[in-house]
Amino acid sequence: MKGFSIGPFDCPTVALDGAYIATGFPSMTAIAGLVDALTNRCGTPAANAPFAIVVHDLQVHPGRPKPKADSKAEPTEAVERTRGRMRATLLMLDPEDAWLTSQIQDALPGLRFAGSVMQAVGKRPEVRVREFDDLGKALRALAPGHLILDRGDILDRALAIARDPLDALLDVFALQKDDQERWQSAYSFSEDGEFQALLPVSVGYQCLEPLEDATTRSGTRCPTTPHVFAEGIVSVAEARSSRKVSRSANGPAALPAFWSWSSHPDTAVIHLTGRSFAAISSEGIPA
């Protein structure tokens, strides 16, 4: 199975507030929106292409932009945003062998990454796109960074002993000092004793009305797309060294690094989950 390495690229004004209870990292749903727009431009809408993200640098801008005044010089109701500068590389898989490198390259101009323009790094005139079929080699070819893994399993463990999902999130990310005066959470280390750099990420939506009742609504961004009211879902991810992963004995192919959409009509949940390169190679993309 082949894939495409897109980047590295700079995002000077990336949005870092994907959900009302999680800030500091771009929403995974926003990155999925970029991938959806990219495959749509390549002639394959709703391809649900699995993607991974390697973060090379992330700096939060100081302060928060204030809402602009409206025509009557009164503050608007817009929520203040947290933004930053990010350098990253996007890895996108092509299980159906549907695209060419030139197609991806031609489709990139004008697309945004979590609200920010994507700028080429260095003196290159455009963001670089390269094809790969070996994930380990693709990661080793990149500058040092951190691969973002799906760690919903940690949230599941916390939820088993928590009162509700919000309480479970607080248990995962609440920090306390240990005996050596280091700030840690109860989930900072794996069962093997390895430190885990965990972060909250926005991964999807809990619909507030039945999916089968979805219909078009006036005033929405796309008047022909079915619309439902929903609230955001936050899960747990881990930032793990891409260089360390690429050189590990087990390799990167078994890690849940590639995110794609899953739909659950019975619970009205639409969310992103991470799967491994090996699983996608053998099982394909979920329907």
Tell me the pLDDT of the chain averaged across its residues.
88
10-52 pLDDT, tens per residue? 999 999 987 778 888 999 999 999 999 999 999 988 789 999 9
> What is the dihedral angle through the alpha carbons of 45, 112, 197, 254, rounded to the nearest 10 degrees?
30
The residues pairing with 230 across neighbouring beta strands, listed in sequence order, are 207
pLDDT, residue 86, reads 97
> Does 126 have pLDDT greater than 80?
yes
Integer Cα distance of 287 and 283 in angstroms: 11
Q: Report whether 180 contacts 173 (CB < 8 A).
A: no
pLDDT, tens only, 71-86: 555 555 555 678 899 9
pLDDT of residue 66: 58
CB-neighbour burial class of residue 115 (10 A; exposed 0-12, middle 13-18, buried 19+): middle
Q: Choose between 257 and 222: higher pLDDT.
A: 257
What pLDDT shows up at residue 21? 80
The answer on pLDDT for 255 being more than 80 is: yes
For tokens 């203040």, what's the residue? 80
Q: Are 10 and 113 in contact (CB under 8 A)?
A: no
Strands (E), the chain: 2-15, 51-60, 83-94, 112-113, 116-117, 119-120, 129-132, 146-150, 176-177, 183-184, 198-207, 230-241, 258-264, 269-275
Q: What is the rounded CA–CA span in Å between residue 44 and residue 256?
A: 24
- Asked whether residue 272 carries a pLDDT value surpassing 80, the answer given is yes
* Digit-coded pLDDT (tens) for 135-194: 999 999 999 999 999 999 999 999 999 888 889 999 999 888 878 887 888 898 888 888
The pTM of the whole model exceeds 0.95: no
Question: 3-state DSSP call for residue 136?
Answer: helix
CA distance linking residue 252 with residue 92, whole number of Å? 15
pLDDT at 23: 86
Question: Would the pLDDT of 63 be above 80?
Answer: no
Domain extent listing, the chain: 2-65+80-149+239-260+278-283
Cα 93–94–98 angle (5° rounding)?
A: 160
Q: What pLDDT score was predicted for residue 180?
A: 80
Query: What pLDDT was estimated at residue 124?
Result: 82
Percentage of the chain exceeding pLDDT 90: 59
Please report the pLDDT score of residue 74 as a whole number: 55
- Amino acid identity at 169: L
List the structure tokens of 274: 């991470």
pLDDT bracket for residue 286 (50, 70, 90): low
Question: What secondary structure letter does DSSP report for 41?
Answer: H
- Find, among 86, 84, 99, 95, the residue nearest to 55 by Cα: 86
Over residues 182-239, the pLDDT tens digits come to: 788 889 888 888 889 999 999 999 999 888 888 898 888 778 888 888 999 999 999 9
